[in-house]
């Protein structure tokens, strides 16, 4: 089993970190600025670019956003709003059943220690492939080659879980049984039909 981390096991919201630097309204405007393109800029760090280089280049081209640009990294831990309890419970079930567990995450090498320091369930993984450490990020096919090498056998008997459709498509192209994560109940049923040792979804109690 290969899990993505962000918004599968760990809730991530960059707005919260940036808002600590510039306020919530300005953070909303910054993230919506198509000329800056935060997602693409951040992805380059996930693919190995150093943060100081990224910030300096961004400030040079968008000086009016300097406080927001530098504030994201400064306040990054605030963007990690907690673990997704239901998915962590599923991970713990799989671990208890002896299923081999790996993580493949798009994450800056410089910022990933914030997750390691906070989320103890990361110790359940046999290995965590961090894109920033490998200088290549999903959905680039190369990172799945790295995953295959780290797993130690072909990927066609691995199940991959990610919240990004692009990453799911890339994993499927690499030969994996790829599941698009939308919610934990759906994922639990997806794994049960594949014969994984997880409990059925428990119906929620109806208020009296």
Q: What is the pLDDT of residues 156-195, one digit of tens each?
A: 999 999 999 999 999 999 999 999 999 878 899 999 999 9
Q: State whether residue 177 is helix, strand or coil.
A: strand
Q: What is the pLDDT of residues 88-109, one digit of tens each?
A: 999 999 999 999 999 999 999 9
Rg over CA atoms, the chain: 18
Percent of residues, the chain, with pLDDT higher than 90:
92
User: What value does the mean pLDDT of the chain take?
Assistant: 95
DSSP H helices in the chain = 14-22, 24-32, 38-46, 51-61, 66-74, 85-96, 113-118, 131-134, 141-151, 165-173, 184-193
Burial category of 162 from C-beta neighbours within 10 Å (exposed 0-12, middle 13-18, buried 19 and up): buried
Question: How far is residue 160's CA from residue 154's CA, in Å, rounded to a whole number?
Answer: 13
Token readout for 163 is 């919240």
Q: Residue holding tokens 């979804």?
A: 201
Task: Tell me: pLDDT of 208 over 70.
Answer: no
Contact yes or no for 146/132 (Cβ under 8 A): no
Q: Read off the pTM.
A: 0.93
């Amino acid at each position: 089993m290969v899990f993505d981390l962000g918004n599968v096991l760990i809730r991530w919201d960059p707005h919260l970190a940036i808002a600590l630097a510039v306020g919530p309204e300005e953070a909303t405007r910054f993230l919506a600025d198509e000329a800056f393109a935060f997602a693409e800029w951040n992805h380059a760090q996930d693919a190995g670019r150093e943060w100081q280089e990224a910030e300096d280049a961004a400030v040079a081209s968008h000086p009016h956003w300097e406080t927001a640009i530098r504030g994201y990294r400064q306040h990054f831990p605030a963007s990690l709003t907690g673990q997704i309890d239901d998915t962590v419970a599923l991970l713990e079930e799989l671990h208890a059943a002896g299923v081999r567990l790996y993580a493949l995450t798009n994450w800056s090498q410089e910022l990933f220690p914030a997750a390691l320091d906070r989320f103890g369930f990361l110790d359940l993984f046999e290995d965590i492939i961090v894109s920033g450490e490998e200088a290549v990020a999903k959905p680039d096919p190369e990172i799945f080659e790295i995953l295959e090498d780290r797993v130690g056998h072909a990927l066609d008997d691995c199940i991959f879980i990610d919240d990004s459709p692009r990453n799911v498509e890339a994993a499927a192209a690499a030969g994996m049984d790829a599941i698009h994560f939308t919610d934990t109940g759906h994922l639990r049923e997806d794994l049960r039909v594949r014969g994984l040792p997880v409990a059925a979804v428990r119906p929620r109690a109806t208020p009296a």
